[in-house]
Each structure stands twice: as structure tokens, then as C-alpha cells.
Amino acid sequence: MNVKITYYLDVISSWCYWAEPAWRELKQKFAKSPVEFTWAIALLDESGMSKSREQADWFYRRSGTIMRSPFMLKSGWMTGLQEYLAPNCVAEAAKDFGVADDRVRLALMEAAMCAGKKVGTWDVSVAVAAWAAGLDAAALLQAAQAPEIEKRVRATTAEFHALQVTQRPTFVLRSNIDDRAVFSGLVKAGPIAAAIDAMLEDAAAYAAHAAHFGGPPPG
């Protein structure tokens, strides 16, 4: 029995930034359970991004007060791009160097929204990521700009859109008995944890039944 949870995100999404404490809480809660945690890029496009720094600041004030944050996010990272490939491809490329955890993308999020750094440029994103993970900057840049990395990022973005949801973060839970739950736009751990508990319980019940009765009789 097991559950896999996939966290769809964009590195420059403020709501994904606010969801990070919930992600950490879930990983800690289920650290000794058969739960697999993974993340995937779901690129924001022009329709999902603020049109100006002033608009972004308005949204940051709203989300910051909703989350009871003692600080306000910064919009200085914005450069008017329709999508921010550089930070997302750098985060994805770091996986190929054995850094599949949260270090790189968290560093990029904080560099952008807490420090206002221009992560839309390759050199800034690579410098942040290389420092966060102890990677060679030149090698990381070469990997991040490779066509196969962009192809992977666009493939996971297509997976996200196939879910017919619009919000990042989106969390998709799947169990080994094919139960599935989708939480889109939620940044609290409680409901997601409850769903994981329910899925694990159901999977355990299936395993117990199989141990007593085996598979179904032939039809």
C-alpha cells in the first residue's frame, strides 16, 4: 500500500510560496509512512500572472494578510516576461544533478519574492541555484538550457492542464488501489493530510482482504 503526492507549482507563484510550510508539514507527518512526495513544474502563462508590479503588489498584500505574514512579498523580480522559463528550468535541471528535493526551488522562490532578484534571467537563477545546492554553475546552466529540460517542463505543465484545474499549487494524490484526490489552490496541510490518511486506510483494508481471500475468482 502506498500513496504518491505530486505538487504542481511554478517557482514564481506566490501561492506556491505560501504553500511551502504545508508541504514541509506533510513531509514531516508522513516521513515514516508509505507516502511518496514529488513535485513538478506547471508553468504560469500570461493569463495567470500579474500584468504589472502594482498589480502584483496588490495581490501580495491580499495573500500576505490572508496568510498572516509578518512581511510582504516583493515584486522586484518581475521583468514583464510572458512566462519565466529560467527559474523553472533551473529547478528542473537540478534534479539531474541529484538535487530532487526542495532546496533549489525554495532558494529561487526566496530570491525572487523575498529579495526581489531578477530570477527571470538565466545568470541570476543559476547563481542562486548553484549556491543553494553546491553545484557547478556552468554545468547547471548548460543543463538548464538544454531542449530536453524545457520539454520536461512543458510536459508536466500539460499534465497539470489535463487535470482541468487553474490554480498553483495543485496537489494530486494517487494510491496503489487507484484512488485519487486533487486539491487545487489549497495552501493548508490539514485537508490533504486527512485525504492521505483515508487513502492509506483504504489501501490497508484492500491488502488485508487480499491476504485472507486472494484475488477475485475468474469470470
Which three cell numbers, joined as nine digits, stand for 30? 508522513
Specify the CATH class of 3-213 in words. alpha beta
* pLDDT above 90: residue 74: yes
Query: In the numeric block, which cell numbers belong to residue 104?
Result: 533549489
Ramachandran region of residue 103, left (φ > 0), alpha (ψ -120 to 50) or beta? alpha
Domain locations along the chain: 3-213
Read off the pLDDT of residues 92-115 as tens digits, 9 standing for 90 and up: 999 999 999 999 999 999 999 999
Query: Of 39, 51, 44, 47, which Cα lies nearest the Cα of 14?
Result: 44
pLDDT band at 218 (very low <50, low <70, confident <90, very high): confident
Considering only residues 48 and 30, tell me which one the structure prediction assigns the higher pLDDT: 30
> How confident is the model over 129-153, as a mean pLDDT?
98
Radius of gyration of the chain from Cα atoms? 19
